[in-house]
Amino acid sequence: MTSTRTSTRTSTSTTTHETSPATGWGFRFHETGGPEVLRYEELPTPSPGPGQVRVRVAASAYNAADNGMRGSFLPIPVELPHVPGYDVSGTVDAIGEGVQEFSPGDPVVGFLPMERDGGAAQFVLAPAEALVAAPATIPLADAAALPSVALTAWQALVDDGDVHPGQRLLVVGAGGVVGKYAIALAARAGVHVVATASPRSAEDVRAAGAHEVVDHTRTDLIEAVTEPVDVLLNLAPLEPERFAALVALVRDGGRVVSTTAFLTTPGDEARGVDAVTVFVRPDRERLAELVRLVDAGELRVEVTRRVPLAELPALHAEGAAGRIPGKVVVVVE
């Protein structure tokens, strides 16, 4: 599906005319706890300060970290009361002093500071440096599904994994959203990709660009991978002993990269195998490049479900009960 959007630019670098209502609506929690602490409330619509942009939200994306911050079992010190939803897309509603790269009406997408208010509301204040122009070739709401997961994949591969053309990459747990972005980015960079997947996700993993797919439900990975890999990227909640055993698949001087922050990433000092744990970082330049790849047709934004904002507590309850597959965007009507 393709959408066309236009915006009107001005040359001003000061705050624009206030066209939005003094308040909007959204979900926030005043204390941490279960999904029941989420309250649908009338929220103030503050004017953007220097370097800030007010965004009229099209959608936010649900991430497992939203559940962790609300439940207080993820060590990110959120400011209470807190509006969840740190992946966001929408249109610029007003700009603060010093903001020259955006104008009201511009479609944008961003990865917001996780400790501050997010996009599960009609409006959100964002640092200008957290935003980039949204992809023009997909619906604006769907763009909220891109930032943090695609940045995680890029940072794991390029910044922390240091993969190069001609190398071999093993992706463990490739059937999730981050895994498919990682495969697509690696294959595009000329890396040979070996990926693990269940029968349910194997076809999607192949479609993303994996050269070899190992069914981890039927095949022992250590036996299936017959040639050493340069980088092992783990995206799965492995048992520590199993994770440590997989390091044998990495060549001397290679690297193990993992996004499972609750699990120590193993290496092998004797063989020069480094270990790196990835924590996603804001990166405006990288995000803009990811948007460019989407618009060029080289990267597909995955949206598994779209739910209205009113169903956010039910979505959090689903996440609290177990893993939510795919990528869900929360659309603001």
Tokens of 34: 């279960």
Whether the predicted pLDDT of 296 surpasses 70: yes
201 Cβ partners below 8 Å, 6+ apart?
174, 175
Tokens encoding 272: 């020069």
Neighbouring C-alpha atoms within 13 Å toward the C-beta of 328:
20
pLDDT per position as a tens digit, 162-192: 999 999 999 999 999 999 999 999 999 999 9
Integer CA distances (angstroms), 23 to 43, 45, 122, in order: 5, 5, 9
Region 255-282: what's the mean pLDDT? 95
CA 183 to chain centre: 15
Beta-sheet pairing, 23-28 with 87-95: unpaired
Q: What is the pLDDT of residue 12?
A: 39
Q: What is the model's pTM?
A: 0.91
Per DSSP bridges, beta strands 305-308 and 328-331 are parallel
Kindly state the greatest CA–CA separation across the chain: 65
Multiple choice CATH, 149-277, 3.40.50.720, 3.10.350.10, 1.10.357.10, 1.10.3720.10: 3.40.50.720
Instruction: Indicate the residue type of 70.
Output: R
Instruction: Domain 23-146+301-331: state its class.
Output: alpha beta
- pLDDT (tens digit per residue) in 227-255: 999 999 999 999 999 999 999 999 999 99
Amino acid letter for position 17? H
Structural domain boundaries of the chain? 23-146+301-331, 149-277
pLDDT by residue (tens digit) across 56-73?
999 999 999 999 999 998
